[in-house]
Amino acid sequence: MRIIKYFDLKDSECFIFDEFIINQVKEGVVIQPHHNDLLNDIVQENFSGKDLVYVSNRVKSYSVNPLIYPKTEKIPNLVAIAMIPLTDKMRKNAEYEREFYDKPYGIFDSLTAAIKWVHKILNERDQLLKFQK
């Protein structure tokens, strides 16, 4: 597992790996629906035709409009979201946001645990797709 690309965006830092994206939103940002457009552009540019998981490494304090999640679900090859909250308050926010997202959504205490889950989710999906063929 090695980083393929790095983007220092206006509102976040984005790390692209083979099977997932790790995004670290910057302090004080409010995540709104237009951020989905940017995420979708990055996904389509770097994962065209390939499934991936979005990993949010929440190391800074920021806000999320939970109404973005129904639009996020429509990114076709985004199969799951993993959250790594730094504080109890961030964990509570992530638990609340989970209610707005209907695909697999995990909350983890470490990046290592989240990445293990990413591989598990993608392997299970591969097995299901092979079985369906």
pLDDT tens track for 83-96: 999 999 999 999 99
pLDDT tens track for 10-31: 999 999 999 999 999 999 999 9
Would you tell me how many other CB atoms lie within 10 Å of the CB of residue 34? 10
List of residues 6+ apart from 79 with CB closer than 8 A: 51, 52, 53, 103, 104, 121, 122, 125
Backbone phi, psi, residue 58, to 5°: -85, 85
Record the pTM.
Answer: 0.92
H or E segment at 79?
Answer: strand 78-85
